[in-house]
Chains A and B, each alone.
Chain A
Amino acid sequence: MIAPGTEPGLWRTARALAVRDLRMAWRRRGDVLQPVLFAVLVVVLFALALGREPQRLAADAIAVLWLAVLLAGQLALDALFRSDAEDGSLEQWLLAPVPLSWLVLVRVAMHWATTALPLIAISPLLAEMLHLPHDQLPMLLASLLLGTPLLSLIGGVVAALTVGLRRSGILVALLSLPLYVPVLVFGAGSVAAAARGQDPSGALLMLAAGLVAALVLAPLATAAALRISLS
């Protein structure tokens, strides 16, 4: 029981959770590398399957890069709440004196920082492997920076819905990929539009609008999903 007046504030809780998550990620550095390795492998497989001609690879580079990042992030989704559900700390989240959606938001942000940010950092290298023209790289990075947090937030809802299931691997993919489609269309579409010399700002603004809406609504939906999964 917490004495009245000594409840931890929003920022203190957020800092404690963020520090804990980052420390856990640092202690298991190998796990952080796994999505990056996966994305590199996807790119290598695509490059081998498409053939070695640079023009051909460059034409498909945007689609391949976006898919590699999207799939790597999707595979990392299951880890979002799984270990906390197994050791019971998720139940403590429900009891905590701060809103559940706030904790969810911090967790998703940390998850994004440890899985998606390394992917974005490696994407210039992957772009080079696929002979993406250099002038398209800033556009690609901008679309990824706007798109991946949106993917993490949407994926969080699905991860929360399936956290009560013992084996949920393929189901998470089946539930999250349809919801990812608009993000993929606007994200890859913005880079493709810029490559054709059109104005990409419309697609980027749509991504930004989606991100703002998801920042507000997705944690609430995720919190509701966690309550259902743990009840």
Chain B
Amino acid sequence: MQPIVRWFHQLGSPPTFDRFARRWSRVFHLAALPVLALGLWQALFVVPADYQQGDSFRILFVHVPSAWMSLFVFALMALYAAIALIWRIKLCEVLAMACAPIGAGFTVITLLTGSIWGRPMWGTWWDWDPRLTTELILLFLYMGVIGLYVAIEDRRNAARAAGLLAIVGVALLPVIRYSVDWWGSLHQGQTIRLLGQSTLDASMQVPLWLMVIATKLWFAGSLLAKARADNLQREAGKDWVQRQFQEDA
């Protein structure tokens, strides 16, 4: 067997994953901190004030990365759930369910920062605008996945049922993504493009991309830590967990 394929198969076993997650969740969290600090410092002190929005636009550097994460985490959760349903990989159930609370957290941050930003810019905390409404629905979907996972007693069935709900919910992701383009919206249109010309000023792009990388790293760390806790809880009766905690103690 190829070394990479073998490593991948080994990672699926709970004890190996536990060792892997314990090491790498710390690495990801530690790697995220300097990037986050640099990005925030640039966003708050280096980037010049916007000629229209003044200093209040600086919340963008928190708002936009967390909005992207709220969608990305949902898609990743559905992907893990699909893998778990098709190939019955137990670890993917754990990972999918670990995505849900973290993604819900990013969605709450997006809604809060957007609301705080909207107050001085649009003169209102909230508006029933397509982008805002769909983001709120996304939060309800996250809540639904968590709620269903909690409600079913058998852990494996719960993860698979909640995972299926996540897969069904993916149908809404494109609606959220393109809501700004499809309907006339209070929310500003897309200004950042990975390919082609961005309409966002170049000086704002560096801290934005730093924040995007930082949120991704932080998410990877949190996902591994959360999945590790869930994995240990599920395996609590097994010998290797007992042995490991005796070693640690």
Q: Which of A161, A162, A182 contacts B172 (CB 8 A)?
A: A182
Is B109 an interface position by the 8 A CB rule? no
Interface-facing stretch out of A3-11, A45-53, A95-103, A171-179: A171-179
Given contacts A157-B168, A171-B151, A221-B167, contact A228 B144 (CB under 8 A): no
Q: Which of A171, A179, A228, A229 contacts B168 (CB 8 A)?
A: A179
| A231/B165 in contact, CB under 8 A | no
Is A124 an interface position by the 8 A CB rule? no
What residues of B have a CB within 8 angstroms of the CB of A164 in the complex?
152, 157, 161
Closest to A154 in B: B168
A 159-189 binary contact with B (CB < 8 Å = 1; else 0): 0011011001001001101110110000000
How many A-B pairs with Cβ below 8 Å? 56
What residues of A have a CB within 8 angstroms of the CB of B173 in the complex?
none
B 139-152 binary contact with A (CB < 8 Å = 1; else 0): 01101100110011
Please measure, in the bound complex, the distance between the C-alpha atom of A71 and the C-alpha atom of B143, giving whole angstroms. Answer: 20
What residues of B have a CB within 8 angstroms of the CB of A179 in the complex?
141, 168-169, 172
| B147/A224 in contact, CB under 8 A | no
Please measure, in the bound complex, the distance between the C-alpha atom of A157 and the C-alpha atom of B144, giving whole angstroms. Answer: 13
Is B175 an interface position by the 8 A CB rule? yes
B 116-142 binary contact with A (CB < 8 Å = 1; else 0): 000000000000000001000100110
Please measure, in the bound complex, the distance between the C-alpha atom of A147 and the C-alpha atom of B48, giving whole angstroms. Answer: 50
Q: Which of B85, B140, B141, B148 contacts A161 (CB 8 A)?
A: B148
Given contacts A178-B137, A221-B167, contact A228 B147 (CB under 8 A): no
What residues of A have a CB within 8 angstroms of the CB of B147 in the complex?
171, 174-175
| A161/B157 in contact, CB under 8 A | no
Given contacts A157-B168, A178-B140, contact A171 B148 (CB under 8 A): yes
In the complex, chain A residues 38-61 whose Cβ is within 8 Å of any chain B Cβ? none
| A174/B143 in contact, CB under 8 A | yes
Q: How many chain B residues touch the partner (CB < 8 A)?
A: 21
B 167-200 binary contact with A (CB < 8 Å = 1; else 0): 1110010010000000000000000000000000
Closest to B160 in A: A228
In the complex, chain A residues 136-172 whose Cβ is within 8 Å of any chain B Cβ? 154, 157-158, 161-162, 164-165, 168, 171
Is A191 an interface position by the 8 A CB rule? no
Given contacts A165-B152, A171-B148, A174-B147, contact A228 B161 (CB under 8 A): yes
B 154-166 binary contact with A (CB < 8 Å = 1; else 0): 0001001100110
| B144/A174 in contact, CB under 8 A | yes
Please measure, in the bound complex, the distance between the C-alpha atom of A229 and the C-alpha atom of B165, giving whole angstroms. Answer: 12
Please measure, in the bound complex, the distance between the C-alpha atom of A179 and the C-alpha atom of B143, giving whole angstroms. Answer: 12
| B157/A228 in contact, CB under 8 A | yes
Please measure, in the bound complex, the distance between the C-alpha atom of A161 and the C-alpha atom of B140, giving whole angstroms. Answer: 17
Closest to B139 in A: A178
| B157/A231 in contact, CB under 8 A | yes
What residues of B have a CB within 8 angstroms of the CB of A225 in the complex?
161, 164
Please measure, in the bound complex, the distance between the C-alpha atom of A55 and the C-alpha atom of B28, giving whole angstroms. Answer: 60
Please measure, in the bound complex, the distance between the C-alpha atom of A157 and the C-alpha atom of B152, giving whole angstroms. Answer: 16
Given contacts A157-B168, A161-B164, contact A182 B175 (CB under 8 A): yes
Closest to A164 in B: B152
| A228/B164 in contact, CB under 8 A | yes
Please measure, in the bound complex, the distance between the C-alpha atom of A178 and the C-alpha atom of B169, giving whole angstroms. Answer: 9
Listed residue (B85, B141, B148) with the most chain A CB atoms within 10 angstroms of its CB: B148
| Interface positions of B (Cβ within 8 A of A) | 85, 133, 137, 140-141, 143-144, 147-148, 151-152, 157, 160-161, 164-165, 167-169, 172, 175
| Interface positions of A (Cβ within 8 A of B) | 154, 157-158, 161-162, 164-165, 168, 171, 174-175, 177-179, 181-182, 221, 224-225, 228-229, 231
Can you show 8 pairs from A to B with CB atoms below 8 A apart?
A154-B168, A157-B164, A165-B151, A165-B152, A171-B148, A174-B140, A174-B144, A225-B161
The 3 nearest A-B residue pairs measured at CB: A178-B140, A175-B144, A228-B160
